[in-house]
Amino acid sequence: MDDPRTIVAMGGGGFSMDPDTLLDDHILDIAREHRGRTRPRVCFLGTASGDADGYLARFYAAFARRAEASHLALFVRTETDIERFLLDQDVVYVGGGNTADMLAIWRVHGVDRALRRAWDAGVVMTGLSAGSICWFEGGTTDSFGPLAALTDGLGFLPGTHSPHYDGEPARRPTYHDLVGRGVLAGGYAADDGAALVFTGTALVDVVASRRSARAYRVERGADGNAIETELATRYLG
C-alpha cells in the first residue's frame, strides 16, 4: 500500500503572504486526490500567533468558499477531544508565528500526539514558517529574538528546515553557519513561495507560486562548511 502520510512545508506563501492562491490550491488538490472529498475539510492551527483573530479571519476568507473550514483554538479551548477533531480533517494548516511557543503549547494540550495520529492516518499536514519548521527535528527560528537554532521540533521529518530563505537576509547565512558547525543537522531550505512536498519522509516534489522561488538541500561538508544544492522546482503558474 502506498504511504498515506503527506506533508507540504512552505517556506512562505499561501493565503497569508501571496496575492494568488497557487500553493493553497495545490494543497487542496492533494487533499482531494488523497481523501476523496470535493470540498476538503481544512483545519487551521493559529497557535503560533496566539490564535490571532485577524489571522483566523484571513484563513476563513481564503478557504470558506472552497473547503469545509474550521480552526482549533487552544488559548480559549473549545474542543475536548482534539485527536478525534484532527482525525476528522483532510488538511491541517499551521500558521506562522512563534515556533517555540507553539510547540510548547501543543505539548501541554497533547496536540503533538494528535497530529502524529492524524498524519499517520493520511490527513495532509501543511503550513508556512512556524508551520513548516514544526514538522522537522529542528530549524532556524526567531522565537527567542535573533535567529537561532530550534532543536525540539515534532520530528515527523528527519533533519532540519529553514523557511523564508530569500525573504529575510539573515536566514541563509545563519542556516549555513548552524549546519556547518553541526549545531543543526542538515536539511531543507525554502524560499517564500516555494513548498517541499513529502510522502512519508521522502521528498517527492518541490513546487512554487513564484517563478523565482526555489528550495535547497543544505548539508555539512567535510571541511565544516555548509554545502547548498538547489532542488528542481516546478512552477505552478
Give the start-to-end residue ranges of the domains of the chain: 6-235
Q: Percent helix, strand, coil in the chain (nearest 5)?
A: 30, 30, 40
Task: Tell me the catalytic residues.
Answer: 129, 164
* pLDDT by position in tens, the chain (length 237): 589 999 999 999 999 998 889 999 999 999 999 999 999 999 999 999 999 999 999 999 999 999 999 999 999 999 999 999 999 999 999 999 999 999 999 999 999 999 999 999 999 999 999 999 999 999 999 999 999 999 999 999 999 999 999 999 999 999 999 999 999 999 999 999 999 999 999 999 999 999 999 999 999 999 999 999 999 999 999
Q: What fold characterizes domain 6-235? A: Rossmann fold (3.40.50)
pTM for the full predicted model? 0.96
Q: Is the separation of the CB atoms in 10 and 213 below 8 Å?
A: no
Q: Is the separation of the CB atoms in 48 and 74 below 8 Å?
A: no
Q: Is the separation of the CB atoms in 4 and 217 below 8 Å?
A: no
Q: Which residues lie across from 91 on neighbouring strands?
A: 42, 124
